């Protein structure tokens, strides 16, 4: 398990790349405010089952991106705060909350800074939630896990639904190239991609539109490889109690590799010639 602190200089460089990518991502999503006003919800069954009934609960959505899942939690009756490092994402989320009429608070901050500041205050949350492309941006798990523990009320829960790190061993064409075990930061000169355009309707339940074409991100990014054992070990080491761990043979929404097959409920699977492998995992842990 890592013992290093967060690399905030790397996070700041990633922030620039996410700012550019977020503009492209939301350009493909048709009238999201109307989608929410009409009762739409973007959460998948996996996280809804793990979260359970959220009505009236205080939830912090860590690394919330542009707020669509945060507002989906609020749509279900939760009192939600979303936290993200991207200025563009938080500005979009704040405007979407206003335009949809669904109240939620959004904070622009490095997740490590927010956790430290929140832990130093008196507010505590009943649920901390994170999902789909969050862990690979964390430069240190020990500080992150301790921060989650410290902002939860006694009995509070952390729920994570995430793409499985086994996937990061592969190139887009499914050729094996990268280590499974801890590594990083790994620099990608192409920056955060327009994965919404690559995934199409699977990631746009409000409706897909062409939007930005041939997006090129001018800012590189750095990612980190954390095996599931490191994630769970950090949470246990921070004093949380593991409630559940599960792996799934499909990914929700994201078509990140060539030849992926579409299933029901916006799920995607590897091409038929690839043996079954875990594409997502989930963790639920509780503060005693």
Per-residue pLDDT tens digits of the chain, which is 288 residues long = 454 567 989 999 999 999 999 999 999 999 999 999 999 999 999 999 999 999 999 999 999 999 999 999 999 999 999 999 999 999 999 999 999 999 999 999 999 999 999 999 999 999 999 999 999 999 999 999 999 999 999 999 999 999 999 999 999 999 999 999 988 899 999 999 999 998 888 888 899 999 999 999 999 999 999 999 999 999 999 999 999 999 999 999 999 999 999 999 999 999 999 999 999 999 999 999
Q: Where are the domains of the chain?
A: 8-286
**Burial class of residue 288 (count of CB atoms within 10 Å of its CB; 0-12, 13-18, 19+):** exposed
Half-sphere exposure of 122 (CA within 13 A, CB side): 0
The three-class DSSP label of residue 128 is: strand
User: CA dihedral in degrees (181, 9, 71, 100; nearest 10)?
Assistant: -150
User: CA dihedral in degrees (248, 254, 260, 262; nearest 10)?
Assistant: 80
**How do strand 261-262 and strand 267-269 relate by DSSP bridges?**
antiparallel
Helix or strand run (H / E) with residue 6: none
Beta carbons of 93 and 82 less than 8 angstroms apart: yes
pLDDT of residue 22: 96
Supply the DSSP symbol for 261.
E
d(CA 70, CA 127): 12
pLDDT of residue 208: 92
pLDDT of residue 90: 98
pTM value is 0.94
> What's the CATH superfamily of 8-286?
Vaccinia Virus protein VP39 (3.40.50.150)
Supply the DSSP symbol for 208.
B
pLDDT of residue 87: 97
d(CA 58, CA 80): 6
**How do strand 79-84 and strand 105-108 relate by DSSP bridges?**
parallel
Beta carbons of 64 and 70 less than 8 angstroms apart: yes
Mention every residue, 6+ apart, whose C-beta is less than 8 A from residue 122: none
d(CA 250, CA 230): 22
Q: Give, in order, the Cα–Cα distances in Å from 123 to each of 45, 52, 117, 152.
A: 29, 22, 10, 9
pLDDT of residue 5: 62
d(CA 27, CA 209): 8
């Amino acid at each position: 398990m890592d013992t290093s602190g967060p690399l905030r200089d790397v996070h700041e460089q990633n922030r620039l790349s996410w700012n550019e990518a977020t503009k492209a991502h939301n350009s493909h999503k048709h009238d999201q405010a109307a989608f929410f006003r009409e009762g739409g919800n973007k959460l998948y069954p996996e996280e809804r089952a793990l979260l359970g009934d959220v009505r009236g609960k205080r939830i912090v959505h860590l690394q919330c991106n542009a707020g669509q899942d945060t507002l989906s939690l609020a749509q279900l009756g939760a009192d939600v705060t979303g936290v993200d490092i991207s200025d563009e994402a938080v500005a979009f989320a704040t405007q979407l909350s206003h335009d949809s009429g669904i109240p939620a608070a959004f904070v622009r901050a490095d997740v490590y800074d927010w956790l430290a500041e929140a832990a130093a205050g008196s507010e505590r949350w009943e649920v901390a939630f994170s999902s789909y492309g969050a862990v690979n941006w964390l430069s240190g798990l020990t500080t992150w896990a301790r921060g989650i523990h410290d902002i939860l009320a006694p009995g509070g829960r952390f729920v994570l639904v995430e793409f499985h790190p086994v996937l990061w061993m592969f190139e887009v064409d499914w050729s094996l190239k990268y280590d499974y075990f801890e590594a990083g930061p790994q620099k990608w000169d192409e920056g955060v991609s327009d994965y919404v355009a690559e995934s199409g309707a699977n990631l746009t339940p409000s409706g897909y539109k062409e939007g930005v074409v041939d997006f090129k991100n001018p800012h590189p990014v750095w990612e980190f490889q954390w095996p599931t054992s490191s994630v769970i070990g950090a949470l246990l080491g921070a004093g949380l109690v593991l409630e559940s761990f599960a792996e799934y043979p499909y990914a929700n929404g994201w078509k990140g590799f060539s030849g992926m097959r579409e299933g029901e409920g916006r799920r995607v699977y590897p091409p038929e010639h690839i043996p079954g492998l875990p594409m997502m995992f989930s963790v639920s842990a509780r503060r005693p």
